[in-house]
Amino acid sequence: MNISETSDLLHNALDLGLEFKTRSAIFGRRGTAEEIRDLLVTDLPIQPTDAGTVLDDFRERVLPLCKNEASPRFLGFGDTGDDPLALAGSLLATLTQQNLINQSFDSPSATFIDIAVLRWLRELLGYSNLSASEVRTVWDVGGMITPGGTTSNTVAMMLAREAKAPGTMQSGVTDPGRFAIVVPEGIGHYSVRAALTWIGCGAQIIEVPTMGFRYDRIELARALRRHHDRVMAVIAYAGDSRTQTVDYLRAIHDLVRAVDPTIWLHADACWGLLAAFTPTLRRKIDGIANFDSITVDPHKILAVPYSSSALLVRDPATVRSISTYSDLIMQEDFAFGQITPFLGTREWTSLKLWMMLRGRGRSGLAQLAERRCDAAQRFAALVDAHPRLVRLNAPDLAAVVFAYLPIGIEAEPPVDRCALDRINNLNLAIHARMLAEGTWHLHQFTMRDDLGRLHGGATLHPLRFMAGNLAITETHMHELLEYLEILACDIEGDRT
């Protein structure tokens, strides 16, 4: 390696990345999937290309088409990934090339950074930790770092399966009827359903009706009694993937344990981790520490680059039930490869989180959480004050879900089927235009109108604002609303 040339190359790459991240535009250029395919899916060159040319090619052909989630106009799904220390951690993890599968020679210190971060997350959520000197093996830690919420939830489902039918890891699933999970209807994240299929249980989902994007607990109790023997786990959301509503975790815990204390309780706190940082917000996740497992996704809420997730377990020893032993993984006390299903070689994703959490400290994290939630409340107030917008959730965290009303339609529930169709069509058209233009970004999905703001239970295609970017000012919010007005006016004008 020529240090000076490599250093120049890396500095150039860094400058390019920072220039990209700090520009206000989301996209440099838009193109259809086919155009981009034809631009980029090319043959491998026979001759070498010098580094400068490769970087230039990336700058000209690839980068302009990339989406910049750190733009204050990017108000949809995805986090900024722009915390400076998290970026530094990400770069250093790449440069140091540690492998978290083993400890002694593969990641002598990195393993303990994983452990430190996992213990911080556990403590923030209320799980108890052994003293550091009592942590003698990976089975004393109580968690693992994974690449994302989907993996974390899948590991949780494996733990639930082993708790329900010990030894299934070896014997295989013999009686799949026993492995059903309970989820809130319409707001469960697809990852738990997918997890059941991946781990051989079959997609046995018992959906329980909701009220205001939380379990209807009378229905939950009824479902547990009705399906008693089949239920392996109950999933509760500390921030569902559409509205980020935090369920009443303590009440769910008490209810489930009273019916059957052996049911595995899993909290998906991919979004809800944000609430762990301030005493006021923490009240929202009260009871979470009684759950058997918790998924958290720092890459969704802490401005850390992709990817970074963790699965935490109340009782660290439960992880033994899903451990893997092989002579290719060191049989040493701190080899994480023994307890991380699906993952062998594993990069050092905890370093960016460790640097970010250390750098901010508890007070900085509280400030970050409060600022995100405050921005969501400010935007919610603007939505409420706007004559053509109707808000569809009561923001617990950083998401505001709303719909744009076509001319002549009032938000007076229940609006009729024809009006609902017009509302959905307008919001779909707004989102399609927004995606095509790429100057602003909001998220869109289907969702049931659980608060009955337009028509209780109706399927809606709303827009969602996410307050993940601390650079979003009140001016951006007003500009966004003006942009939506222009789009709505154009679309409605085209239709009349």
Q: What minimum distance in Å lies between the beta carbon of 272 and ligand PLP?
A: 9
Structure tokens at 333: 């006390």
Q: What minimum distance in Å lies between the beta carbon of 304 and ligand PLP?
A: 12
Stretch that binds ligand PLP, among 143-151, 201-209, 355-363, 403-411 (CB under 6 A): 143-151
d(CA 209, CA 187): 10
Stretch that binds ligand PLP, among 130-138, 176-184, 237-245, 447-455 (CB under 6 A): 237-245
* 191 near ligand PLP, rule: CB under 6 A: yes
Q: Under a CB-based contact definition with an 8 Å cutoff, are residues 372 and 274 in contact?
A: yes
Tokens 């052909």 sit on residue: 61
The closest alpha carbon to 84, from 94, 70, 72, belongs to: 70
For residues 290 and 309, which CB has a smaller minimum distance to ligand PLP in the complex? Answer: 309
Provide φ and ψ at 13, rounded to 5°: -65, -40
d(CA 87, CA 404): 37
Angle at 219 between CA 217 and CA 223, to 5 degrees: 115
* 69 near ligand PLP, rule: CB under 6 A: no
* 235 near ligand PLP, rule: CB under 6 A: no
User: Could you give the string, one character per residue 283-312, with x where binding to ligand PLP holds by CB under 6 A and - elsewhere?
Assistant: --------------x-----------x---
When binding is defined by CB under 6 A, the residue of 98, 99, 150, 243 that contacts ligand PLP is 150
Window 249 to 268, contacts with ligand PLP (CB under 6 A): 268
Axis crossing angle, helix 110-125 with helix 350-385, rounded to the nearest 10 = 40
For residues 98 and 241, which CB has a smaller minimum distance to ligand PLP in the complex? Answer: 241
The closest alpha carbon to 265, from 255, 277, 280, belongs to: 255
For residues 184 and 406, which CB has a smaller minimum distance to ligand PLP in the complex? Answer: 184
Q: Which residues contact 91 (CB under 8 A, 6 or more apart)?
A: 14
Number of residues that bind ligand PLP (CB under 6 A): 13
Stretch that binds ligand PLP, among 144-152, 222-230, 247-255, 448-456 (CB under 6 A): 144-152
- DSSP symbol at 247: P
* 188 near ligand PLP, rule: CB under 6 A: no
Please report the beta strands in 189-230, taking only residues with DSSP state E, as ranges in sequence order. 205-208, 210-211, 214-215
* 204 near ligand PLP, rule: CB under 6 A: no
For residues 241 and 469, which CB has a smaller minimum distance to ligand PLP in the complex? Answer: 241
When binding is defined by CB under 6 A, the residue of 164, 189, 214, 455 that contacts ligand PLP is 189
For residues 270 and 401, which CB has a smaller minimum distance to ligand PLP in the complex? Answer: 270
Q: Give the helix/strand (H/E) hosting 476.
A: helix 474-495
For residues 447 and 488, which CB has a smaller minimum distance to ligand PLP in the complex? Answer: 447
For residues 148 and 316, which CB has a smaller minimum distance to ligand PLP in the complex? Answer: 148
Note the Cα 180 to chain centre separation in Å: 24
d(CA 464, CA 440): 12
Q: What minimum distance in Å lies between the beta carbon of 300 and ligand PLP?
A: 7
Q: Which residues contact 284 (CB under 8 A, 6 or more apart)?
A: 238, 246, 272, 275, 396
Q: What minimum distance in Å lies between the beta carbon of 294 and ligand PLP?
A: 11
d(CA 401, CA 166): 42
Q: What minimum distance in Å lies between the beta carbon of 269 and ligand PLP?
A: 8
Q: Which residues contact 59 (CB under 8 A, 6 or more apart)?
A: 16
* 241 near ligand PLP, rule: CB under 6 A: yes
Question: Which residues contact ligand PLP by CB under 6 A?
Answer: 148-150, 153, 189, 191, 237, 240-241, 268, 270, 297, 309
